[in-house]
Structure 1
Amino acid sequence: MVKVYKYTEKQSLAHQVGKYILECQDKVLQNDSKAQFTVAISGGSLVNVLKACLIDDKELASKVQWAKWHVYFCDERLVPLDDADSNYGAFKKAVLDPLSHHGDHLNLGPTVYAINETLVNEGSHHNEKIASEYESLLPSKGFDLLLLGCGPDGHTCSLFPGEKHRYLIEESQKKVAWCHDSPKPPSDRITFTFPVISQARNIAFVAEGASKQPIMQSIFDNKDQQLPTALINARYSDKVCWFIDEAAFATVKDTTAVFKN
């Protein structure tokens, strides 16, 4: 069953996301000195939540074993890494740059996997190659954790609802696909597909704000499986959880998935 954890305050939500991430980390790393923690993240507001819980929250920050983290991106905009739209760039600014100023053992990690920027600069005819190259970097045993966002249209990663992008939802061979003609700019992206999502051991969504109320109703009340987010809930319910604020979930009638904290 999908688990939903609801919070009234931004700080509480971020703290609980951080605790959940650390639980996943510790489960992988305990009793194995050679283990690596593989995590893939989306961009957008999720990056700010990660900064709040893994950098700014001193209680949690000291427990992150960065040197053993291998960080990937669930989707990436095909722009230079220093572009304002780059998910890597946003993560670098929010998490990597503050870490580099802390010193000590934190400089040992994490290992971060970005797209091949050289190919981005050479034009769109390389987009398929960018996707296949990134796929070649993925962990063969699947991810320990996927940290996902939810757009107001119900998309996650760069898996968009609707007929035009059905090719991404139905992709069964490629683990990373080129998303062309994205409904929101930049139009060219790469994205994880369902073969990656199905292999992940833990999947967590983070959603905040009153603007998410209509889509939360579509996902949890209507269970509209035309939406990639609702489809993930339906297919992988035993390993999916949501961290949301009350504003986002205020109009949802079906609260059976909400867990008390």
Structure 2
Amino acid sequence: MRKLVEPPYKDSIEWSKWWIFWVDERVVPLGHDDSNYKLALDGFLSKVQIPSSNIYAINDKESPEGAAADYEARLKQLVESKVLPLSAISGFPKFDLMLLGMGPDGHVASLFPLRTHRHEKERLVTFITDSPKPPPPRITFTFPVINSASEIAMVVTGAELANMVDVTLGSAPPPDGIPPPCTEVSAEEELTWFLDKDAASKLQTSG
């Protein structure tokens, strides 16, 4: 993504066509160092000409439950106004592309292995107040929304994630016999994993 703020991309991309959302977000002030919005703003959004009206940060004045309800309501408004299409397969909002990462425990977005909100099937956005990874209050897209995306890019780097990569893409059994959230990720058209050598170090190679 950082390459897009450099020539020739910065001046050749039609930024007005971009709409930006957060798959998950920490429920902290938008200017806080833990905010995913701040990370995106500092490294990307402040350097390109995406209209501010097309950038959907969370309402950081709300509680986790309120922020999740607000974000879901805004998504539904965009569906009603035909900005955001619905998947013909799932009936959930269909995003063009989702960028996802993964934790050593196999969590994606803020869907953690031992939290019941991982199994939410009806709502678009849910919340958590006791994330095992700080900060504890977060909101997150649910799996039905994530898996309705046209394309998903899973970007995974670092040796600490090698075991979970092997569970998901290799032959290692899941810890405690319970498949981690990362094994549930799919896309309606294409799911692509981007791994560095460390993250891929435990995958068997041929030749």
What's the TM-score once normalised by structure 2's chain length? 0.82
Contact 1:66–1:110 under 8 Å retained in 2:
no
| Residue 99 of structure 2: aligned partner | 147
Task: Determine if the alignment matches structure 1 residue 130 to structure 2 residue 79.
Answer: no
* Counterpart AA for 1:153: D
Runs of 5+ consecutive residues of structure 2 not aligned to the other structure: 80-84, 86-93
SS of alignment partner, residue 147 of structure 2: helix
Fraction of identical pairs, as percent: 36
Structure 1, unmatched stretches of 5+, are: 1-49, 100-105, 120-125, 256-261
d(CA) in 2 for partners of 1:156 and 1:216? 12
Q: Which residue pairs with 2:46 in the alignment?
A: 97
Aligned-partner Cα distance in 1 for 2:180–2:198: 21
Which position in structure 2 is the counterpart of 1:188? 137
Query: Superposition pairs for residues 87-236 of structure 1, below 5 Å?
Result: 87-99=36-48, 106=49, 108=51, 111-119=54-62, 126-138=63-75, 139-140=78-79, 141=85, 142-162=94-114, 165=115, 167-221=116-170, 222=172, 224=174, 226-233=179-186, 236=187
Query: CA, structure 1 residues 253+190, in 2 after alignment: closer, same or farther (shift >3 Å)?
Result: same
SS in 2 for 1:155: coil
Match of 2:204 among 239, 250, 253: 253
Contact 2:148/2:188 (8 A) holds in 1: no
Q: Given the alignment of the two structures, is residue 239 of structure 1 paired with residue 199 of structure 2, yes or no?
A: no
Distance 1:238 1:116, change over 3 A: closer
Judge conservation of contact 2:18–2:50 (CA < 8 Å) in 1.
no
Measure the CA separation in 2 of the matches of 1:143 and 1:65.
18
CA distance in 2, matches of 1:145, 1:84: 25
Preserved contact between residue 151 and residue 188 of structure 2 (Cα < 8 Å): no
Asked if the contact 1:76/1:191 (under 8 Å) is kept, the reply is yes
Letter in 1 for 2:43: A
1:55 maps to 2:11: no
Structure 1 letter corresponding to 2:130: D
Q: Is the 8 A contact 1:67 1:109 kept in 2?
A: no
Amino acid at match of 2:196: D
SS of residue in 1 equivalent to 2:102: coil
Bigger helix fraction:
1
Aligned 8 A contact 1:223 1:230 in 2: no
SS in 1 for 2:140: strand
Hey, what does 2:90 align to over in structure 1?
A: none
In structure 2, the CA distance between the partners of 1:199 and 1:238, relative to structure 1 (3 Å rule), is closer
Residue 145 of structure 1: CA displacement?
A: 0.8
Separation in 2 of the partners of 1:86 and 1:209? Answer: 22
Q: C-alpha deviations, 1:85-106, integer Å up to 9, x for none? A: 000011011012233xxxxxx3
Q: Is the 8 A contact 1:79 1:86 kept in 2?
A: yes
Report the alpha carbon displacement of residue 82 of structure 1 after superposing the two structures with TM.
Answer: 0.1
Cα RMSD after superposing both structures: 2.1
Counterpart of 1:24 in structure 2 is none
Does residue 1:71 correspond to 2:24, yes or no?
A: no
User: What corresponds to 1:34 in structure 2?
Assistant: none
